[in-house]
Amino acid sequence: MKNTLYDRLGGAEVIRKLANDIAENHLANPLIKTRFEVVENMDKVKEMVFEFICAGTGGPQTYTGKDMLSAHKGMNVSEQEFIAVVDDILAAMDQNNIGETEKNEMLVIAYSLKGEIIRV
């Protein structure tokens, strides 16, 4: 039996695709796309999302980005924007045929970060 969420998601290959799809969904989402259209290096953002998901789900990768509070400080992210991001993550998980249990675990992780992202 695969134990870690990382393994159950499908490991690095699936998580890389998931991270790319999340970023693409953000760029297509009218509620938040302006936040992402100004990013100079979207490949770096995708890599940080990949590392963050891997490290946070039990994978061997190390997350080399900023902590969530530092990354979002001064952005004044609204509750609506946060929900839009979570919706994009859910859509990406559906695009990658992630199971319901794993989706729920990912949602718990996302919501656990809410206080470090919204209006900081």
Q: Compute the distance between CA of residue 89 and CA of residue 104 in angstroms, rounded to an integer.
A: 11
C-alpha R_g of the chain: 14
pLDDT at 53 over 60: yes
Q: How many Cβ atoms are within 10 Å of 3's Cβ, its own excluded?
A: 8
Residue identified by tokens 């990912």 is 106
- How is 9-33 classified by DSSP, letter by letter? HTHHHHHHHHHHHHHHHHHH-TTTH
**Residue pLDDT, tens place only, 59-89:** 999 999 999 999 999 999 999 999 999 999 9
Task: Count how many domains the chain has.
Answer: 1
Domain enclosing residue 87, as ranges: 5-116
CATH number at residue 66: 1.10.490.10
Whole-prediction pTM: 0.93
pLDDT at residue 9, as a whole number = 97
pLDDT at 1 over 60: no
Q: Are 64 and 49 in contact (CB under 8 A)?
A: no
Q: Compute the distance between CA of residue 78 and CA of residue 21 in angstroms, rounded to an integer.
A: 22
DSSP single-letter state for residue 65: S
